A and B are shown apart, each in its own frame.
Chain A
C-alpha cells in the first residue's frame, strides 16, 4: 500500500482504533416535531438524519398500493456539502437511487408490513456529512426513526461496514479506509434472531476470509444494537417523564 498504512504493526488503525472497534456513536430520537418519526445519528464524522412519515394512504397513483402489505418508500439523499468535493445534485443520481433501493429492501425485511395493507411508509434519509459508512449510518438512523414513529418491527435493524486489510478484518470503515480500495462489506442485521436483512460486498475477497469479515461486521452490528437500545430506552424514559407518568 503506497503511502498510507491502514493497520500499524501494533494493530492500530489510521484514526487510532483497534481492528474491531467502532467509532463513537451518538444518536437522538424525535428531533423534528412535524414528522411522524425522526432521528439523528453521528458515527464518528458521519452524520445522518432520518425522517419517517406514515403509515398513510398511498400518495400518487393508487395502482402502487399493495393489497396485503404496506409499501415501503425510501429516499436517500446526501447534502451537496456533505462530501469533500461538492456534489452537484443531492439526490437522483445513480448512487442515491441504489442506496434508496437497498434501504427499502432492508426495511421491508424488518417492518411488519402486513399489518398495514394498502398503505405507505415513507423513510427519508439525509446524509449531512459523509465520512465512510454512510449506508450503515442511514440504516441505524432510519431504525431509530421508525421506532420513533411507532411502526411495528420484527427487531432493530443494525448495520455496520467491515473491510479486510493485512489478513485482519476491520469494522466500521472510515472514509480514508474506504478510499484505499480494499474489499468492503455492508451488513444489516436483525440482532435478536441473527438474521441478515442486507448483505453487500464489493471488490475481491478470498472465500476463506469471507467468514472472518462477516463475523467482524456482525459483531460490530451487535455492538451498534447495544448502543441504539440504550438510546431508545433513554428517549422513552425522558418522554415518559415529560408526559408525567
Chain B
C-alpha cells in the first residue's frame, strides 16, 4: 500500500559521483527562498559547533548547527567514500527506511556517527548530490528512486511554506521517527508560547501570541448591531483573518485571501456551538440590539502551526475583552433609548472557560508531531486539526493538507490530544 504512513518505505539510491564533484550547499545555486533562509542563520564556527545543550527558542541556531555538521560530515564522507570508492557506478543501497538515520541521530555526535555509518552518509550524500545536481547542473550524475513514498517538492496551495530539498526532508522525517526534532523537541512538545494581552488600546480586547516564529495579533472590537433573525436574543461573533504581507511576500495584494478565509471558516466552525461563548450575554434587547464582536486576526509572521497559535490568541483576546454595560430605557410612547453606564470600568467580561483551543497534529512519516514548524509542515502531507475545550470536549475536527490519513492513525492521533 502506498500510504505515506507506511514505515517500511524503501529508498533506492544509486550514486555516480565523479571525483571532481563535491556536493556543496554553499556554492550550488538554490532557490532564492532557500538562500534567503540560509542567510539569516548566523555563521557557525567550529567553537560553536562544539557546544552541547540546545537553547530553547533559538531553534534557528540549533538547526543551523545541525545542518552545518551534517554538511561537514557529508562533504567529507562523500569525497572519501563516494568519491574514491564508487566513482565508477557507486553504491546501491536499499531498505534504508528500516534503519533510520544513523547520521541524523544526535546532532552533536554527528561527524563521528557519520564516519562510522558511512553507508548512511553516502545515501544522504547521494540525495544531497541529487539536489545539487538538479539545481546547479554539476558534473556528476545521481539518481534517486522512490519506491512507494511521495517525496515531491511541493508547496501547499495557499499556505506560507518553505521549499525543502530531498535531503532536508529525509533528515527531518528520520529525526521525527527517533522522537528528536530539528530543534531538539520531542514529538509531543510545544515551543515556548508567549501571550501578551491588552496591546492595542483602541480595541475592546486584544492579544498577541508568539509561538516560535509564529506571531499573531488579535483585536476584538465590540459594535452594536441587530441580532440575527434565527437567534433573536443572542449576539454573535464575526471572524476576519488578515494574512498580511509582513508574514510572507506571497500574501501581497490578494495573495493571502484564500488562507485567511480558510482560517476564518475554521474559527466559525469551532465556535459554532452553544457552549463556547455565552452569546446571550451579548444581547441588549431581543430582536433589536445586540453586541457584535468583530474578532480580527492579523498574521504578523508565519513560523508553522498557525491554527494553534491563532486559537490561543483568539481565546486570550476574548478573555481580555471588555464590553461596556448599557441599559435600555423605554419612555411612555414606547421609544427605546440606549444608555451607557457612567463608569467606564463597569463592563461585561466574557467567560472563556469553554472556548476551545486547536491542536494540530502533523503526520510525518509514521509518527505525528504537535506544533510543527514550517519545515516540518513541508514534510507532512496531512494533518489533523482538533479543537478541544479545557474539559476535553471536542468541538470541531478537520483534516487538512493534500494527503490522506488512515482511520486508525486518526484515533492514534486523537489519543495524543487527550
Contact = CB atoms under 8 A, between A and B. Distances in A.
Interface in A21-39: 32-36, 38
Contacts, number: 93
A212 interface: no
Contact size range, A? 20 to 34
A84 B221 CA distance: 9
A33 B60 CA distance: 9
B320 to A, nearest CB: 13
Interface in B243-259: 244-246, 248-249, 252-254
Given A32-B301, A34-B40, A56-B36, A79 B202 contact: no
Contacts of A53: 249
B200 A128 contact: yes
B164 to A, nearest CB: 15
Interface in B208-254: 213, 215, 217, 219-221, 223, 240, 242, 244-246, 248-249, 252-254
B296 A77 contact: no
A122 B248 CA distance: 10
Contact of A49 (B213, B219, B246): B246
Contacts of A86: 221, 223, 294, 296
B219 A81 contact: yes
Contacts of A124: 244-246, 249, 252
Interface in B310-342: none
Given A45-B201, A83-B202, A129-B200, A57 B32 contact: yes
Contact of A122 (B201, B221, B245): B245
A77 B206 contact: no
B22 to A, nearest CB: 27
A90 B242 contact: yes
A151 to B, nearest CB: 14
A81 B295 CA distance: 9
Contact of B294 (A51, A81, A82, A92): A81
A113 to B, nearest CB: 18
A75 B253 contact: yes
A80 B264 CA distance: 14
14 contacts: A33-B213, A45-B202, A47-B200, A51-B245, A53-B249, A56-B32, A79-B296, A80-B242, A81-B294, A82-B200, A86-B294, A90-B298, A92-B253, A131-B202
8 smallest A-B Cβ distances: which pairs? A81-B219, A124-B245, A80-B296, A51-B246, A90-B242, A81-B203, A86-B221, A81-B296
